[in-house]
Structure 1
């Protein structure tokens, strides 16, 4: 089991597991995995948790998973999961047969034949007998949770283990693709189905899938069949070895592999599927587009994910031009959260009128934006914001660029202009009151003729306590752990904002109090809030308020450190040697108030600059896209 499994077992965050490994010498040593992703023995972890009084609960699903992973190892985990899935399908289809077989003495020898007889519509799976004790455990879990739910649980764990090797379609993209392309479809094909995510999202009908990976094809078929779907999935590379020759589905959905050079360019020259042009070697995605169009009925829709560059790459412009001229390419959608674009295509019917425009949509605001734009496009209605029906004649130039960003004005919401204007005015108005009223002295004069001291001397005299952060860095897992304590970081110090880091509440950390001066390598500031701990590379100066004003101290520290700007030299300032005038406390407070207002001015200028930039952006974009106009 990995750190995530242990965290689930003990109902803690991953950061807590990392902390246990650092703090407890008797924490079990890894038994496998890698240095960055170690694996531990479940019995050893259970014994350690009991020994240290940590509450935990090993669910039946966890025991099934650990036994499966321990028996197969990560290298053969997909094959072993396929055998367990076939057993679950056998349980679903012949529960009485399992009841009889489970009582026999030669279960391990007889089970493969029984499973094969009940799952003949699966792609070929290994006949190697599985661990009978594991299968009994699986059967117990299936009786409680259901066969499909049990297999989904194991598939989720399998994906976690092989997350870097597997490419999964995002759930929101899958739902959008099937809603747009598969409405009313009696049959749906996915020629690069992976684990079956797109087919599972399809609303119904006959489901056909193919994948180049044999294990993936088996797992996709099992996920569908265990849900009672009418499905057929075959292994094999669909471009080179089409698993459904001559088949034309009502709809095709596809999330093909991207940027594969060895996709069969030489051996597929002259292939009848290339009705819109032979795909260049570096444009395998355009081969997938034409494969999908060849497998959809006339009038049927294709929803395919494409790399954003496929909309504008020069080698593919001839095929894009032919797709547009024929009326096959209907829409290009930029999806939320970045990633690939969605292309919607329709196989033209002979003699039908070709569309005059192609839809381009930026759906960064959510999938519902794309759906609304598509419905408006089909109805010939005006397009909602962030969408446009671009005349095809305007696209057929030397580039044939169908990127939404090329044809849409920068994303803006003109309704936000008044609010942006208010923010800018408020931030600007605060600037006028920020500067302190400072008197300019005559040339050569000075306000004091006082001795100076240093930070080191103040600390030695007991007027200043100096502490340094015990945190060397904020690990990613700690930074994402909402249950941790807030950490004041160097960036927070520069911006004057609240603590943004998170860390586990381990002992030895330096807690910040209101009135403390915190300094980084380039800045210093008095902290007004409490409850945070000192972040990496920060130091804390806690002044005796009866002798030393914090804002006065912070002002001189800030100047010595560069006023928030990095030093041009290579050496860091030794804060112990920073010189501070020895002034009476009332004078210190007067200077401290001036320092505080000047720092507030810096912060206000930063805020006003950001508000001004936002105001200018929204204003310019609103004027360009016609949603704003000058008054009068």
Structure 2
């Protein structure tokens, strides 16, 4: 079978294939070309999919300069799953892809020729051939997960597996070298998690993400392990697989998880990665699956805030530090990790920040952990360590101290502003504990006694000094703030004369924008360009309502004048002097001083005859208080741009008034600078008092 036989691509996958932006693909699809861009597959009307072979042929003919991003069929396996869209869930489609990779791996290991039978089978026969081979090799339990995957597919198709278009998937697997099957399978999981978010990625997203930052963090911390690594909430085994890769052949892996499909994924992935690992499915908190297991290192990213039924096992010996709250299991996971450590073992557990500060029984458990000498460090992690949530996370480093004592130090690190904690956490722990942490984030070594006196609060932000809290730094900041305030005030006083503009020589003629249009003095264009329809350069020139509000950015590269228009042959680009307006909630207007921009949704372009109207005068009048009476709507108010009134005066007087307004606006900016500098100075004075820095004559 050919690499691309029957493979369908989404527009995003076409962009990856061609090494271009999504906007460029949208332009290819919408703009005329010879030959035209391929039509989408008939069965993908709502979410278009495109035949890979036809796309490659079109690129070769119309875009010969583009180098197709070939990858030895690894991405083709992910692409082939598009053919199953709407027929089975993404979870089952991903599971089927992994099962086929495992079938090829097992067949090639045994050199039994079974994969050739699978690859040669027709679409309607593929599943039957897989089942027959699985039955014939019943002595190898690794085929059980393949059979389970087929059972899942059968349930979703009501027994009609023969109707699935599996040719592209089998073809893709057939084209992958055996030593690259693991990479291809991981790509399936990575793309699935990236497209649908962790909670939906192929149905096991909540049990791990391929290439997640948290898994990278845990595997780096466990990278020096020589014995047993245990993950009690292993999910798809991402942390264990990464740990094994970094430790080499010196570790044994054990994983538990409550989700049967996640365990099945973990076993299939470890088969493809050629790992010696043991996995078991079960509710770990309800019943310890292996009470005698002792690990050199425990890594865990357990569920956050999970409700658990403590009433069923309150006598469990693991809860030696206290019964965790029923509505929050994270302190139970910490105790489970400790219960399974060897005497000199270490546990690295990632939780939400809630267990660091929760009151009641949570505080009692933290206190017992501190008294027993188990908490070596807590690191506050930055946001977005997980792609699907901004929940702040914390890393607990659990290791029994040589001698439990109230004088023991606990390391608290505030890495909430760090860019790459997964790469540096291990060195931070070593350097901060030994006093050589030159490049570490803010940290403090706090005595256990002090922590216990404050309800065992462990949030590093409560204890770590903020940057710049050193008295010398505070004193310098105070001096700088006073200097800035003096300069800002001097600048304001230099312009203390309020300009008094001369009024118009005649009564203004009040005209609406609609009347200006009827008199051919102005024209209006409603912005309709969408960012997804643009390539990278044009996207930088797109004007959105936010940019009208905040000010137009300077364009580094003006578009080429000869570039074809985007919509209906109209002139879509702005010119110098165009007034760009938004009318939702508050009327805002800005004059384009560069031109060459594209108008996005929610933005109007008002182009005026500059021999009769000064654009800056028009922009200011549109925002006049008299136009507020035209607002309509209960929740989101808006106005009709055509109804807004412009008090028209002679052109020379428009320019004179604009000049006076600019002087007043400059005065307002200088006054704002004084207010900002005064606020900074007041903050510095209070900081100086707090951190005992010299103030004024005390210096």
Is TM more than 0.5 here?
yes
Residue 52 of structure 1: CA displacement? 14
SS class of match (1:396):
helix
Does the aligned pair in 2 maintain the 1:191–1:211 contact within 8 Å?
yes
From 297, 310, 317, the equivalent of 1:251 is 297
SS class of match (1:542):
strand
Q: Deviations over 1:342-385 (max 9, x none)?
A: 33333426756676222221112231664454223432567855
Which residue number corresponds to residue 219 of structure 1?
265
Which residue number corresponds to residue 365 of structure 1?
418
Report the Cα distance in structure 2 between the residues aligned to 1:128 and 1:392, rounded to whole angstroms: 55
Q: Is 1:462 paired with 2:481?
A: no
Which residue number corresponds to residue 134 of structure 2?
112
From 333, 336, 342, the equivalent of 1:291 is 336
Q: Matches of residues 470-549 of structure 1 in structure 2 within 5 Å?
A: 470-471=528-529, 484-498=539-553, 506-507=566-567, 510-521=572-583, 522-549=587-614
Gaps in structure 1 of 5+ consecutive residues: none
- Kindly report the root-mean-square deviation, in angstroms, between the aligned alpha carbons of the 2 structures: 4.6
Does the aligned pair in 1 maintain the 2:622–2:644 contact within 8 Å?
no
Report the Cα distance in structure 2 between the residues aligned to 1:296 and 1:126, rounded to whole angstroms: 33
Q: Matches of residues 402-441 of structure 1 in structure 2 within 5 Å?
A: 402-410=458-466, 438-439=499-500
SS class of match (2:224):
coil
TM-score by length of 1: 0.80
Change (3 A) 1:43 1:515: closer
From 225, 229, 234, the equivalent of 1:193 is 234
Change (3 A) 1:374 1:52: closer
Q: Matches of residues 340-355 of structure 1 in structure 2 within 5 Å?
A: 340-348=392-400
Which residue number corresponds to residue 560 of structure 2?
none
Q: Is 1:449 paired with 2:490?
A: no
Report the Cα distance in structure 2 between the residues aligned to 1:292 and 1:110, rounded to whole angstroms: 42
Q: Is 1:149 paired with 2:183?
A: yes
Q: Deviations over 1:419-439 (max 9, x none)?
A: 988987887776567788623
Change (3 A) 1:26 1:341: closer
Residue 304 of structure 1: CA displacement? 0.7
Q: Matches of residues 140-179 of structure 1 in structure 2 within 5 Å?
A: 140-143=174-177, 146-160=180-194, 162-163=196-197, 164-165=199-200, 166-167=205-206, 168=208, 171-179=212-220
Report the Cα distance in structure 1 between the residues aligned to 2:449 and 2:401, rounded to whole angstroms: 21
Does the aligned pair in 2 maintain the 1:410–1:621 contact within 8 Å?
no
Q: Is 1:587 paired with 2:653?
A: yes
Change (3 A) 1:274 1:21: farther
Which residue number corresponds to residue 210 of structure 1?
256
From 82, 94, 103, the equivalent of 1:87 is 103
Residue 272 of structure 1: CA displacement? 0.9
Does the aligned pair in 1 maintain the 2:627–2:644 contact within 8 Å?
no
Report the Cα distance in structure 1 between the residues aligned to 2:119 and 2:60, rounded to whole angstroms: 41
Q: Is 231-240 or 289-298 further displaced after alignment?
A: 231-240
Which residue number corresponds to residue 171 of structure 2?
137
Change (3 A) 1:67 1:201: closer
Does the aligned pair in 2 maintain the 1:191–1:238 contact within 8 Å?
yes
Aligned length: 614
SS class of match (1:320):
helix
Q: Is 1:237 paired with 2:270?
A: no
Report the Cα distance in structure 1 between the residues aligned to 2:682 and 2:172, rounded to whole angstroms: 62
Change (3 A) 1:582 1:103: closer
Report the Cα distance in structure 2 between the residues aligned to 1:324 and 1:616, rounded to whole angstroms: 40
Change (3 A) 1:162 1:464: closer
Residue 314 of structure 1: CA displacement? 1.3
Report the Cα distance in structure 2 between the residues aligned to 1:208 and 1:133, rounded to whole angstroms: 36
Report the Cα distance in structure 2 between the residues aligned to 1:453 and 1:466, rounded to whole angstroms: 19
Residue 116 of structure 1: CA displacement? 5.5
From 129, 136, 148, the equivalent of 1:126 is 148
Which residue number corresponds to residue 333 of structure 1?
379
Residue 213 of structure 1: CA displacement? 1.7
Residue 553 of structure 1: CA displacement? 2.5
Does the aligned pair in 1 maintain the 2:305–2:330 contact within 8 Å?
yes
Report the Cα distance in structure 1 between the residues aligned to 2:183 and 2:398, rounded to whole angstroms: 36
Which residue number corresponds to residue 445 of structure 2?
389
Q: Deviations over 1:5-58 (max 9, x none)?
A: 45445655445667788899996488479xxxx555554995899699876979
Report the Cα distance in structure 1 between the residues aligned to 2:543 and 2:301, rounded to whole angstroms: 43
Report the Cα distance in structure 1 between the residues aligned to 2:82 and 2:508, rounded to whole angstroms: 72
Residue 210 of structure 1: CA displacement? 1.6
From 296, 303, 317, the equivalent of 1:272 is 317
SS class of match (1:271):
coil
Which residue number corresponds to residue 4 of structure 2?
none
SS class of match (1:188):
strand
Residue 143 of structure 1: CA displacement? 2.0
Gaps in structure 2 of 5+ consecutive residues: 1-8, 122-127, 152-160, 385-390, 556-563
Change (3 A) 1:138 1:47: closer
Report the Cα distance in structure 2 between the residues aligned to 1:103 and 1:567, rounded to whole angstroms: 65
SS class of match (1:77):
helix
Does the aligned pair in 2 maintain the 1:89–1:222 contact within 8 Å?
no
Q: Matches of residues 26-37 of structure 1 in structure 2 within 5 Å?
A: 28=40, 31=43
Which residue number corresponds to residue 158 of structure 2?
none
Change (3 A) 1:102 1:561: same
Which residue number corresponds to residue 429 of structure 2?
374
SS class of match (2:280):
strand
SS class of match (1:540):
strand
Report the Cα distance in structure 1 between the residues aligned to 2:695 and 2:463, rounded to whole angstroms: 21
Residue 209 of structure 1: CA displacement? 1.2
Report the Cα distance in structure 1 between the residues aligned to 2:652 and 2:238, rounded to whole angstroms: 70
